[in-house]
Amino acid sequence: MKQSITMPVLSDTMETGRLVRWNKQPGDPVKKGEALAEVETDKAILDVEAFADGFLAGPLAPVDTDIPVRQVIGYLVDEAEKGQAATPPSPGLGEPAPIPSPAPAVSSTPSTPIMSSPSPVAVPPTQPSTALEKAAAFPPPSTPLPTGVRASPYARALARDLGVNIAGVLPGPDGTIHAAQVLAAALAAPEADLRQGPPYALERPSTLRAAVARNMAATVQTPTFQISARLAVEPLHQAAKKAGVTLTLAMARACALTVAADPWFNHAWTAKGVAKRERVDVGIAVDTGDGLVTPVLRDAARRPLAELAEDWRILLGKVKKGRLNPEDYQGASFYLSNLGIFPVVSHFNAIVPLGASAILAIAATDTQGKADFTLSCDHRIIFGADAARFLAALAKRLDQPDSSLA
């Protein structure tokens, strides 16, 4: 019997996963629950486990490839000989098509730069201003696409009608340009024209960095405002040391209690109405060196400090190993970003993530033990006076921190 191994769906927003490596080869025996491969999501590297005993069979999806969720990446068979002699499947009813070969990677080394007149796929042309200029600038739908990239007939026709250079459109997760990708390109903001600048090379971003870019772009439609105050940090710092916890954890706890006292900061605006949460989950920005993740402390206002400290220790361990699960970093109702470890940062603003009403940015502490606190708010939920009262309440907690760390 031959069973398909598919790219797992690890979160509601996951569309593709990047296959990092195979732990087994065709013909190798596997046990149920054994890690067959490793997949990189937008936040972590996770295992693809065997769902039954058997033998791994090919063809196997190539590593370092972005693969759509539920796409077949390999097979399990019940006999070793079948695994060694497996042949590529033919697309059929109810069976996903074979995984397309990825387009050749563009070198990111200085020795092979793309010169100031690169191909259309590397540097999209500037947007022409008139219909006549469009007709001259954009190629007909029969324009050859880069190697390994395909486009559906409808996508080609749509690109022609919308005046989109299809050679500059990024393909979908399956390596094919569909109507959705053409529409996204037509509605997207103009790309920067780099042709008049220095020579450059294109490099595919990591899964994490690409996810951060998508998430930040998605917040463009959120109407926000910022309000700042200089608050004392040293009393909380000393209380945290006495309690044996980090300043970050102590600050998250103080914020959670302040949010709990003013529930509007725990709400979220949705198209169907205001979402009123029943607990305060605090997401804390953590720098991985390659991007930003936000591990979440659940129910941070009501749970004992010792429990939160243990959770935070476990979360940081997962961040270090790149093993965060979606439930570890998704769904925070309030966010905290602390750049206090960088003495040169005297002030900064943070972007309100989707699904939250506010995020607090904390800069470096000065010689008087104070730091700049900037609260960025979704103006659909929070108003200026609300934000001012929140900072005033937080200031009192920081001045009398023992109640926050009880």
pLDDT in tens, 15-31: 788 888 898 888 888 88
**Over the chain, what is the mean pLDDT?**
79
Residues 6+ apart with CB under 8 A from 61: 19, 67, 71, 72, 73, 74, 99
One-letter amino acid identity for 155? A
Average pLDDT over every residue of 129-149: 44
Residue ranges per structural domain of the chain: 2-84, 130-190, 223-403
Burial of 56 (0-12, 13-18, 19+ CB in 10 A): buried
**2-84 CATH fold:** OB fold (Dihydrolipoamide Acetyltransferase, E2P) (2.40.50)
Local structure of 118: helix, strand or coil: coil
Highest-confidence segment of 166-175, 185-194, 282-291, 381-390:
381-390
Q: Residue 50 has what DSSP assignment?
A: -
Domain 223-403 part of CATH 3.30.559.10: yes
Average pLDDT over every residue of 127-149: 44
Residues 6+ apart with CB under 8 A from 6: 69, 70, 71, 72, 73, 96
Residue 265 is predicted with a pLDDT of 95
Structure token pair of residue 93: 């009813």
Residue 377 is predicted with a pLDDT of 96
pLDDT band at 110 (very low <50, low <70, confident <90, very high): very low
Percent of the chain with pLDDT over 70: 80
Instruction: Name the residue with tokens 């309440």.
Output: 393
pLDDT band at 170 (very low <50, low <70, confident <90, very high): confident
Percent of the chain with pLDDT over 90: 36
Residue 14 is predicted with a pLDDT of 72
Report the distance separating Cα 79 and Cα 29, nearest Å: 9
Report the helix count and the strand count for the chain, using DSSP H and E: 10, 20
